Chain A
Amino acid sequence: MATDQPSWERFDRRRRLGRFVAVLVSAVIVVASWQFMEIGVVDPNTVPREIADLLTRMYPPDVAYTRQIVGPLIETIHIAALGTAGALVLSIPVALLAAENTTPNAATFWLGKLIVTVSRSVNTIIWALIFVVTFGSGPLAGAVAIAFRSVGFLGKLLGEEIEEIDFGQVEAIRATGASSLQLLLYGVLPQVKPALVGLAVYRWDINIRDSTVLGFVGAGGIGVQLFRAVNAFAWQSVAMVLLVILGVVVVTEALSAYTRRLVR
């Protein structure tokens, strides 16, 4: 009588097949995509070589250019700050509308969701294109674009926070005879405050980065400077701008982390 040899396989046949199919499909999609784009065969040396070439031209960065960067840089910071602040204020009613437990009725709920979806699906720079048309070119259009994109981001995440609150805490406040507004201020707000501050500061961080490119479409900020320098092939000036942007982003990220730790 033959005795079966004990065996062990990490994944059973079905999962193995599943993984194999997934990898196969991915590979097919990638190859098909490559073909579709008609890029042709790329010499694996060309790309790194050309990138290295570009990077060498950027060294050393033109420090003197800094004087021309400061103004636009400050403008960029203004755009991000105002856009984020404006969005924060607007996102609170939107979040209340988009949260199942605070929205008055089904129609307002869908309105909230609609605002959030449209805002989030359109990239900031596209919003900037639109608002340059209506507000004229310049940082005002940029700030509005930042605000429009951020409302959806903040509204959605804030709404989710509101849906997660402990309803019991709110009910107890209601039982003391508090008004609806007091309920929001004393029962809901304290529960969502860490998220409110954290999300606002997180979005501000992202908005600083987004604000740097708005100048490409005429919406103000350091993007104007950068665009000009790139088109003039002034690579050392470009490098200086990039360094300054890097610096601002690092500081912003540190501030963001500090603030979020402060309010827990």
Chain B
Amino acid sequence: MLHVTDLQKTYDTGDEALRGVTTAVEGSETVAMIGPSGAGKSTFIRCVNRLTEPTSGTVELDGTELTALDSDGLRAARRDIGMIFQEYNLVERLTVMENVLSGRLGYVSAWQAFRRSFPAADIERAYAILDRVGLGEMADKRVDELSGGQRQRVGIARAVIQEPKILLVDEPTSSLDPETSNTVMRLLTEIAAERSVPVLINIHEVDLALDHADRILGLHDGELVFEGSPAELDDHALDRVYRGDERPDTTQSGEKTPETDSHDTPKTADKSVVGGV
């Protein structure tokens, strides 16, 4: 479904965030990407839908080469990519329903968007998804009245209503407590499985990755240093991912969940609202 070939990203500051990563996400698997802070996980995910422009390499989704699209083509392609963000990134002043419906913006005109006149089918979809994520009663609540876990569920609903071909998830649980994190992860993977949608999820809590993912990708300093099933992620592999080298068995046992605060995307100049796609 998703094929990434030799993806590179060097920021204007000279920071080489991705040094040629090649990987794929197939069928309806859930792939978790782990790695220390600054490894390039966020950059990678953002390069897939070109929120961050890759310096070189190709990204192909279901036969379409995303990296070769012009701005109109890219906009159309993004409709098929659902993205969920670490800080939820919901429009706070709008209601839950309006935020969920924003997933369908790619299918309505600007005037319809302004008047919030979405097709009845979209409304029905929205209610159904809100029921599924457990927010059925909250459709008309303003987002800034919600808790962190509830907001992330709205984020999931927004991505899912796009009926996407793939879900990109960027650190969905960093701002949540451990119990809510687990609930959110479970919800995410269940919904994805129900709809047979592959998920690429960027996560730094290794235990969550091991619990919920079919496959693990390990990134270190812009390079893919591990690719395999959760069972194959032993201490050697963890060292490679988090320390960048192989250490003999005499090091401490048990996995270490490194503390990161996962802002491995430096502030870039890609910040303009218009003028870029």
Contact = CB atoms under 8 A, between A and B. Distances in A.
CB atoms of A and B under 8 A apart anywhere in the complex? yes
Interface of A: 101-102, 104-105, 166-188, 190-191, 193-194
Interface residues of B, number: 35
A101 B272 contact: yes
Given A172-B102, A176-B104, A176-B106, 14 more contacts: A101-B272, A166-B89, A172-B90, A172-B91, A174-B78, A175-B51, A176-B78, A177-B106, A178-B75, A179-B75, A185-B110, A185-B113, A186-B102, A194-B93
Interface string B71-88: 000011111011101010
Nearest to A180: B274
Interface SS of chain A: helix, strand, loop or mixed? Answer: helix
Nearest to A162: B273
Nearest to A187: B91
A182 B102 CA distance: 10
Contact of A182 (B51, B87, B113): B113
A93 to B, nearest CB: 12
B119 to A, nearest CB: 16
B105 interface: yes
Given A187-B91, A190-B94, A168 B113 contact: no
Contacts, number: 99
A106 to B, nearest CB: 12
30 contacts: A101-B271, A101-B272, A104-B275, A169-B89, A169-B91, A172-B85, A172-B89, A172-B91, A173-B91, A173-B105, A174-B51, A175-B49, A175-B78, A176-B79, A176-B102, A176-B105, A176-B106, A176-B158, A177-B78, A177-B81, A177-B106, A178-B106, A179-B75, A179-B110, A180-B274, A182-B105, A182-B113, A190-B93, A191-B91, A191-B92
A193 B273 contact: no
A252 B166 CA distance: 54
Interface in B78-128: 78-79, 81-83, 85, 87, 89-94, 102-106, 110, 113-114
Given A173-B91, A175-B78, A186 B272 contact: no
Contact of B274 (A104, A166, A167): A104
Interface string B44-76: 000001010000000000000000000000011
A182 B91 CA distance: 13
A178 B273 contact: no
Contacts of B103: 176
B81 to A, nearest CB: 7
Interface of B: 49, 51, 75-79, 81-83, 85, 87, 89-94, 102-106, 110, 113-114, 155, 158, 162, 271-275, 277
B83 A172 contact: yes
A172 B78 CA distance: 11
Contacts of A102: 272-274
Contacts of B93: 190-191, 193-194
Contact of B83 (A105, A175, A187): A175
Contacts of B277: 174
A193 B114 CA distance: 13
A204 to B, nearest CB: 23
B77, B82, B90 pick with most chain A CB within 10 angstroms: B90
Closest 9 CB pairs of A and B: A177-B106, A177-B78, A172-B89, A177-B79, A178-B105, A181-B110, A168-B89, A175-B83, A190-B93
Given A176-B78, A177-B78, A186 B113 contact: yes
Contacts of B113: 178, 182, 185-186
Contacts of B49: 175
B143 to A, nearest CB: 10
Contacts of B106: 176-178
Contacts of A172: 83, 85, 89-91, 102, 155, 158
Nearest to A181: B110
Contacts of A169: 89-92
B75, B94, B110, B273 pick with most chain A CB within 10 angstroms: B273
B84 to A, nearest CB: 9
A171 B81 CA distance: 14
Given A176-B79, A177-B77, A188-B273, A182 B110 contact: yes
A171 B270 CA distance: 11
B226 to A, nearest CB: 27
Contact of A190 (B81, B87, B91): B91
A103 to B, nearest CB: 8
Contact of A176 (B92, B162, B274, B275): B162
